[in-house]
Amino acid sequence: MRKPLLVLFTAAVLPLGGCAYGLGGQDVLGSVLGDVLGGSRGAMGGQTFEDAAAEACANEARRYGSVSITDVRAQSSSTMRVNGVVDTNGYSRRAFGCSFREDGRITDFDID
């Protein structure tokens, strides 16, 4: 009588464990704990989405001079908008805006 119960339990639990583990190759427990403990850390090398967007856009803007990020906002659920200022030669400053997608691509970069 115990053997059928054990088989039934195992048959029910294994698929659930597989689903939890196989969600896009992500660490589900780490993701949940990261959200609970103060920040969503994902597939961007331990960075938050906002941090990854700011870093990528700042790297793009550094071609023009010294960079200062002024604002990072969600443009949609999968895109962040980063605004900042580039100090080009110590005397002039230029504003820039950058859109960063969750797949790691910059889709829009504007500098005034």
CA angle, 53 as apex, 50 and 56 as ends, to 5°?
150
Answer whether 72's CB lies under 8 Å from 82's CB: yes
Q: What is the pLDDT of residues 69-104, one digit of tens each?
A: 999 999 999 999 999 999 988 789 999 999 999 999
Report pLDDT digits (tens) over 39-54: 444 445 678 999 999 9
**pLDDT score, position 4:** 56
pTM of the model: 0.59
Residue type, 18: G
Q: Minimal CA–CA distance to 82: which of 95, 93, 66?
A: 95
16 Cβ partners below 8 Å, 6+ apart?
none
Alpha helices in the chain (DSSP H): 2-21, 28-36, 49-61
